Amino acid sequence: MKVCITEKPSVARDIARLIGANDRHEGYYEGNGYQVTWTFGHLCCLKEPNDYTDLWKRWSLASLPMIPPRFGIKLIEDSGIKKQFKVIETLIAGADEVINCGDAGQEGELIQRWVYQKARCNKPVKRLWISSLTDESINEGFQHLQDASNFDNLYYAGLSRAIGDWILGMNATRLYTLKYRDSSSRNVLSIGRVQTPTLALIVSRQREIENFVPEDYWEIKTKYRDTIFNSTKGKFKTEAAASEIIENIKEFTLTVTSVGKKKGKESPPRLFDLTSLQVECNKKFSYSADETLRLIQSLYEKKVTTYPRVDTTYLSDDIYPKIPGIMEAMKPYTALTQPLLGGKLPKSKKVFDNSKVTDHHAIIPTNVDPSSVFLTREEKFVYDLIAKRFIAAFYPDCEFSTTTVMAKINEYDFKATGKEILKEGWRVIYNKDKASDGDEKEEEGNAIMPAFVEGESGPHQPSLLKKTTQPPKYYTEGTLLRAMETAGKFVDDDELRDAMKENGIGRPSTRAAIIETLHKRHYIAKQRKSLIATAAGIQLIDTIKEELLKSAKLTGLWENKLRKIERGEFSAQQFIDELKALVNEIVLNVLRDNSNTMIQVVNDKPKTASKEKGEKKPRKPRLKSIDEISCPACGKGHIIKGRTAYGCSEFRNGCDMRLPFESYPADLTPAKLNNMIKKAYKK
């Protein structure tokens, strides 16, 4: 008997149907020499500190660092999980062979291996490795089952990640909570290997904004033949200097000194990986990273898109022969695919590159017609992005002409640029979208210009434009995901970003969860699209002195080692030993700290409730909005809510602002409280 174990019941149902296991039993299907069962995601987890020794049940500085001699796993405390595990354990015991049909990724491998270990599996194990859940893909995968040992390094990388997070998270959280938590608080200072440097990025950006000093500057422009020409001198620091030039040019005519045209090409946008899809959905639809991941996972399970948790934007060569079939199945997009299916499809190195594909390729549609499957409104939006990006990849480049006109007024040089689309190429796919978005306004420098002739001259209309330097923008989920992907570096170039992914912090599949964790623990708040660090988040980062705990760059180096473990280029044991040594060093450094710093934690855990196998979003904490009200007294802190009054988060640094509940009721909404404060402190 061959026992197949999937990660979800829905996948088990599809596989059972295809391999002829049609008899339904409690917890599994059977037939044709197969038994097909399933997990519910993680059934097992690493043991907690108190599972190892009674000494670790009580939180104590004396017990740190906690490093078990050997890490163990246990079943998650849940009656449903225990019942399903018993089914799996029984089936494995009677099996001749086990087939791992878990999700084809690092986390999927870890989920399955832990279950086999807990069930004491000593049977031969094969691996089903597929990139989509279509019938064709599953059938093809069963014809090419691989030895489980081929994926040992993938498991070692996942195990190293889990153990590393345990070592750092468990020890650092207890250490900082016991050392720095205010005695009046019972909450926890949560610290994590990826969570903390991500929070540090947000706090650092917020500090840049708060400390930004705006400066005025002036630009000189002039209008000639309905075209704006800009002074080549750029920005002027004083109005007087700019005004002097205005006086020197207003009585003179503008003379065109040269007209240059240069043709160029613009390639189609890259296919989606998970991060770029999350960024685009946040930008276009304001979806959170977590929401986008949920939607693309659903599309994958509905068989209309390929495996989503990927970090590559390329396809492997073996996908090329399947492209026409995929396009033919995309019935709602026939008008866009038909021009491509008449001849041979182009095969570009910007799309197909085996060296850039490891376990999975970029996210693309499958050969399942999306109109034959029920998709929610949000799922249709996400599918549309993926479908058009996929089709555009096979369209010609967009061809354009850039015109640069140089001119002189008196002795001063001016410049105007314009862009003209010669052949739309792939942009034709997005023309309708632009029109519906109202995005028809041409930016300066991209407008189509009238024809100019060298030597022509005429009157012009000079103007002086005052501008002010702007601070950097708060992170949105989209820009934060990009920062996590590149360890805090900001790059627009796709090639450079690809090179930096090796040192990104977190995995594409886990970054959304990290952002949600920071929000649930009230270290950050969401203000429209912006992510704002709360007082608790700022205090935590300020308290952490160890750069290793909050440096995106250094955390990125850990991620690089995990990727090398996955490729068999680095030892899992060495990675874990390095983290053990690091934790020992951190514990000693913190215990030596005599600064008496205390953090008044405001991150109470929100209550959650289950609903149809999902979870409701946690209720919004009152302090989330209050933290967004700046202190009118010192201007540095935020308003926090105490037992008898509102106060300033900088009270330990000397700010004595206090708003008693007698005058400012405790049940005020943040908006009303903010209005009352503004009126009270109005000068």
pLDDT in tens, 351-395: 999 988 877 899 999 999 999 999 999 999 999 999 999 999 999
Q: Give residue for tokens 């690092």.
A: 106
User: What's the rounded Cα separation, in Å, for the pair 58 and 69?
Assistant: 19
Residues found in the chain: 683
- What's the confidence (pLDDT) of residue 530? 94
Catalytic residue among 28, 34, 155, 307: 307
Q: What would the mean pLDDT of 665-678 be, rounded to a whole number?
A: 76
Q: Is the pLDDT of residue 254 over 50?
A: yes
Cβ atoms of 271 and 393 closer than 8 Å: yes
Neighbours of 629 (CB within 10 A): 18
| Helix segments in 193-238, DSSP class H | 195-210
Amino acid at 571: S
The amino acid that residue 237 corresponds to is K
pLDDT tens, position by position, 546-594: 888 888 888 888 888 998 999 999 999 999 999 999 999 999 988 888 7
**For 20-62, where are the alpha helices, taking DSSP H only?**
49-52
All residues at 6 or more sequence positions from 637 whose CB lies less than 8 Å from its CB, including other chains: 535, 630, 631, 648, 649, 650, 651, 653, 655
Residues contacting 536, CB < 8 A, separation 6+:
522, 523, 599, 601, 602, 603, 627
Q: Please check whether residue 94 is in contact with residue 122, taking contact to mean a CB–CB distance below 8 angstroms.
A: no
CB-hemisphere CA count at 13 Å for 246?
Answer: 18
Rounded-to-integer distance, Cα 550 and Cα 179, Å:
18
* Residue 548 parent element (H or E): helix 547-550
CA distances from 112 to 52, 88, 93, 165, 635 (A): 23, 11, 16, 19, 53
More confident residue, 215 or 631: 215
CA distances from 8 to 14, 28, 35, 542, 557 (A): 10, 11, 15, 42, 33
Least confident of 77-91, 272-286, 330-344, 495-509: 495-509
Give the Å distances, CA to CA, from 75 to 46, 79, 85, 593: 9, 10, 8, 39
Q: Which residue from 322, 308, 239 is spatially nearest to 278, judged by alpha carbons?
A: 308
Is 307 among the residues known to form the active site? yes
CB atoms under 10 Å from CB of 182, counted, come to: 13
Gap between the Cα atoms of 511 and 193, Å rounded: 12
Count the neighbouring beta carbons within 10 Å of the beta carbon of residue 79. Answer: 7
Count CB neighbours of 421 within 10 A. 14
Question: What confidence tens digit (pLDDT) does each residue in 583-629 have?
Answer: 999 999 888 887 766 666 554 443 333 333 333 333 333 333 355 68
Residue with tokens 């079943």: 75
**CA–centroid distance for 303 within its chain:** 23
Q: Give the pLDDT confidence of 199-253 residue by residue, as tens digits.
A: 999 999 999 999 999 999 999 999 999 999 999 999 999 999 999 999 999 999 9
3-state secondary structure of 598: coil
Compute φ and ψ for 624, nearest 5 degrees: -60, -50
pLDDT (tens digit per residue) in 79-107: 999 999 999 999 999 999 999 999 988 89
* Residue 536 vs residues 455, 502, 620: alpha-carbon distances, Å: 65, 31, 16
Coil, strand or helix: which one is 191? Answer: coil
Q: Given a cut of 80, is residue 479 above it in pLDDT?
A: yes
pLDDT for res 616: 37
C-alpha 57/C-alpha 70 separation (Å) is 18
How far, rounded to the nearest angstrom, does the alpha carbon of residue 444 sit from its chain's CA centroid? Answer: 31
Q: Which residue has the tokens 């995995």?
A: 507
pTM of the complete model: 0.80
pLDDT of res. 612: 33
Average pLDDT over residues 102-117: 94
In this structure, what token pair is assigned to residue 574?
């060495």
Which residue bears the tokens 């866009």?
Answer: 336
CA distances from 401 to 191, 256, 423, 441, 449 (A): 53, 19, 10, 18, 11
Domains belonging to the chain, first-starting first, are: 2-144 (3.40.50.140), 160-210+474-592 (1.10.460.10), 216-268+398-468 (2.70.20.10), 274-392 (1.10.290.10), 629-680 (no CATH)
Q: Mean pLDDT throughout 328-340?
A: 95
Contact 540, 189 (CB under 8 A): yes
- Percent with pLDDT over 70 in the chain: 89
pLDDT band, residue 128 (cuts 50/70/90): very high
Average pLDDT, the chain: 88
pLDDT at 490: 61
Burial class of residue 191 (count of CB atoms within 10 Å of its CB; 0-12, 13-18, 19+) = buried
pLDDT tens digits, residue range 153-177? Answer: 999 999 999 999 999 999 999 999 9
- Single out the residue of 462, 468, 469, 458 nearest to residue 244, CA to CA: 462
pLDDT at 558: 85
What pLDDT was estimated at residue 600? 60
State mean pLDDT over 523-531: 92
> Crossing angle, helix 508-520 and helix 274-285, to 10 degrees?
50
pLDDT (tens digit per residue) in 5-32 = 999 999 999 999 999 999 999 999 999 9
Is residue 403 within 8 A of residue 418, CB to CB? The reply is yes
Measured CA angle at 192 (ends 186, 193), to 5 deg: 165
* Dist CA 339 CA 580 (whole Å): 59
C-alpha 163/C-alpha 182 separation (Å) is 29
Prior bond of 65 cis (ω within 30°): yes
Residue-level pLDDT at 617: 37
**Strands 125-127 and 97-101: what pairing?**
parallel
CA angle 264, 495, 423 (to 5 degrees): 25
CB-based contacts of 596, cutoff 8 Å, min separation 6: none
